[in-house]
């Protein structure tokens, strides 16, 4: 996987999870983005360990 592909996946995960959190009923955008950050970190660790 190239660096650009990995960056794209991470950005997409952050965006999608943030939107899902908003749709499910996060109190505000800050909370939704916090959930997105957690998902971003989980996928980043998975990518690093996969190498």
Cα–Cα distance for residue pair 47/51, rounded to 1 Å: 7
**pTM beyond cutoff 0.75:** yes
pLDDT of residue 30: 97
Closest among 31, 32, 5 to 17, alpha carbons compared: 32
Q: How far apart are CA 10 and CA 38, in angstroms?
A: 11
Alpha carbons 47 and 1: distance in angstroms, whole number: 10
Q: Taking a C-beta distance cutoff of 8 angstroms, is the pair 36, 6 a contact?
A: no
Give the residue extent of every domain in the chain: 3-50
Q: pLDDT tens across 4-42, in order?
A: 999 999 999 999 999 999 999 999 999 999 999 999 999
Between CA 32 and CA 47 the distance in angstroms is 23
């Amino acid at each position: 996987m190239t660096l650009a592909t990995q960056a794209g996946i991470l950005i997409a995960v952050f965006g999608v999870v943030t939107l899902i959190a908003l749709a499910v009923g996060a109190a505000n955008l800050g909370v939704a983005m916090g959930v997105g950050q957690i998902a971003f970190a989980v996928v980043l660790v998975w990518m690093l360990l996969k190498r």
